[in-house]
Amino acid sequence: DAGVIQSPRHEVTEMGQEVTLRCKPISGHDYLFWYRQTMMRGLELLIYFNNNVPIDDSGMPEDRFSAKMPNASFSTLKIQPSEPRDSAVYFCASSYRGMELFFGEGSRLTVL
Amino acid sequence: AQTVTQSQPEMSVQEAETVTLSCTYDTSESDYYLFWYKQPPSRQMILVIRQEAYKQQNATENRFSVNFQKAAKSFSLKISDSQLGDAAMYFCAYRSAYNNNDMRFGAGTRLTVKP
């Protein structure tokens, strides 16, 4: 079975631009998570969905961040406008009934 | 709030030797799950092993085993017969059994394997 698929793997953009990160969870998983990883703060949970419904977005740093899950097989994390401090690796993960997380390969974002 | 502490930022081991990575956690809950994840240079987080708090028996997965001490709130990972491919960042994680989505990660331990 395919694992969690994220795109793009790498994104370099300029400050002020819109960034959209994409995720396809493992088929049949009912939870989807977005994490951000930085050297300073480690892994931070940004938001998670259960059956496509956002449950907790308290980790989303600012209104510039938004996430959607229009169906069970697709989610996006959008940053608009992007800032240099948003530079990080963004992980998507999915799980079944809240058990262990299966992570994608991450999207490395660099905002210049 | 639950916290996970990995006190060893870096560890190194000789190939074929055994190494133990430490993890402690703080919780007032009685039921929870503990995990070790491996993050190689490829960046993907890979589940290594899982332990249910209600189980007294330590989990084992091939060369990976844990020493789970519930009273001490300790959850160490032992890697036997270390291989070059074991070189990675290792993260300890805690998940509440009452809030399925409250998973907390430690800061990680970077493991180097010397040939």
Tens digits of per-residue pLDDT, A3-17?
999 999 999 999 999
pLDDT at A76: 98
What 8-state DSSP symbol labels residue A58?
T
Q: Does B46 touch chain A (CB under 8 A)?
A: yes
| Mean pLDDT of the region B103-113 | 93
pLDDT at A1: 61
Contact A82, A71 (CB under 8 A): no
Highest-confidence segment of A33-42, A82-91, B42-51:
A82-91
Question: Which of A43, A49, A50, A92 should we substitute to test contact with B (largest number of B Cβ atoms within 10 Å)?
Answer: A43
What 8-state DSSP symbol labels residue B86?
G
**Cβ contact, residue pair B101, A48, below 8 Å:** yes
